[in-house]
Amino acid sequence: MRAFRRTAGWRKIVAMSWIWCNGDFLDGPLAVSPVDRGLTNGLGLFETVLALDGKPVALDLHLARMRAGAARLGWSFDDEDFEQEIPKLLARKGLEEGRVRVRIAMTAGAGDLRDLARGSDALLWITAAASPPPPASVTLMTSGFPRNERSPLAGLKCASYAENLLALDEARRSGVDEPLFY
């Protein structure tokens, strides 16, 4: 078995990795429990928000979808401070100008698989990274994987995103940019 080795420059990446987690700003890596059901079972939610020049775009709509997803899972989701916390995070990371991808994510934490309740170690975090401008155009293909609109997860942005990544890989291997689900 090969040991994990850090790449050159990892300290620089860690030093620049401000995140917001469970109400606090952290400078450095986030420790995630190996028994967090968000990690082991995909029991988590996320939203990706575009920020332009330090201001999140349509944040209210993203937060509404996350609240609806949390409610479907029986979770509470307190987002009242996000409108202030996201610009603070962008400032700490030096991302007040240009296009930025803001990711809001929450996990279930540890717990019994038969219980959807969030554990005491559940995480809610926000990350941000510079985002390149969108391409002038994209090529599309219909994915070979049909979307199950009857799934209880339909409409949620779940941590279990593997289906979408498989479709994206299928598209890229076919020489196109993005898949369309049917």
List the chain pLDDT tens, one digit each, 182 residues. 444 344 444 344 333 479 999 999 999 888 899 999 999 999 999 999 999 999 999 999 999 999 999 999 999 998 889 999 999 999 999 999 999 999 999 999 999 999 999 999 999 999 999 999 999 999 999 999 999 999 999 999 999 999 999 999 999 999 999 999 98
For the packed helices 59-73 and 82-92, what is the interaxial angle rounded to 10 degrees? Answer: 110
pTM of the model: 0.87
Q: Is 13 exposed, middle or buried (0-12, 13-18, 19+ CB in 10 A)?
A: exposed
Domains of the chain: 10-131 (3.30.470.10), 135-182 (no CATH)
